[in-house]
Amino acid sequence: MTGFCEAAWAETQVLREAIHALPFNRDLAAGALDAERFRFYMVQDALYLVEYSRSLSIASARAPDQPAMVRFAEAAREAVVVERALHESYFARFGLDPATAAASEPSPTCLGYTGFLLSTALTGTYETLVAALLPCFWIYQDVGTAIAAQSAPDNPYRAWIDTYADPAFAESVEAVKAIADRAAAATTEAGRAAMMRAFVRSTQYEWMFWDSAYRLETWPIG
């Protein structure tokens, strides 16, 4: 039987190709991304990661085995502590105040994505939650690795890119993929179908997140 991750990667091929082709990611690779767009992205990403960490913590609490429990607990910590350090270094470079960023309003896409993850964490099955969480790991590693291979050393966003192209991050991705495959093997056909829907939905939100940053997305009515 084809593993869940292999099937999910094939299912989202066209969508993943569209993610690589987004203007945000093309400009990021070229070092030509407009600073205002990157500032918008950083603020929204910081808001996203707080809620993503909550969902990871719930996955840790619901995990059926200790390796998965520890992996998700560590990922929840890293989302808040390690990622915050990266954000704050760029906040300083781009003249953003961390307190102001933390008090900012989430964009429609950010709120939609985090709402989907938290709803899945609180009302879905454990395996569906794992599938919903996986794209944030895997897509970022895929995009970061691709961009790092073509990005110049003097790219102003190089440190950001290298974070997701780092071999240590790739190890974390592989660990979560293994958890997802184990969860899929332990559930029913209906459970695996729900996992696939969740994986696809989160991948769609990944596309929307980068696209919304490039568009400087706002709510239609203040």
pLDDT of residue 99: 80
Quick: pLDDT tens for 97-122.
778 887 899 999 999 999 999 999 99
- Per-residue pLDDT reduced to its tens digit, 179-214: 999 999 999 999 999 999 999 999 999 999 999 999
Q: Return the structure tokens found at 98.
A: 């961390």
Domain 4-215 has CATH 3.40.50.2300: no
Using alpha carbons, select from 74, 187, 77 the residue that is nearest to residue 128: 187
User: What is the rounded average pLDDT of the residues 52-75?
Assistant: 97
144 vs 20: CA distance, rounded Å? 10
Q: Residue 159 above 50 pLDDT?
A: yes
What confidence category does residue 1 fall into, taking pLDDT thresholds of 50, 70 and 90?
very low
Mean pLDDT calculated for residue range 209-222: 94
What is the pLDDT, as a whole number, of residue 153? 83
Length reported for the chain:
222
Q: How far apart are CA 205 and CA 209, in angstroms?
A: 6
- Tens of pLDDT, residue by residue over 72-88, are 999 999 888 766 777 67
pLDDT digit string, tens, across residues 32-42: 999 999 999 99
| pTM for the structure as a whole | 0.94
Burial of residue 82 (CB within 10 Å: 0-12, 13-18, 19+) is: middle
User: How confident is the prediction for the chain on average, in pLDDT?
Assistant: 93
**What is the domain partition of the chain in residue ranges?**
4-215
The confidence band for 140, taking pLDDT boundaries of 50, 70 and 90, is very high
Q: Please, what is the Cα angle at 97 between 93 and 98, to 5 degrees?
A: 100
pLDDT band, very low/low/confident/very high, at 89 (cuts 50, 70, 90): confident
Q: What sign results for the dihedral spanned by CA atoms 45, 116, 126, 206?
A: negative
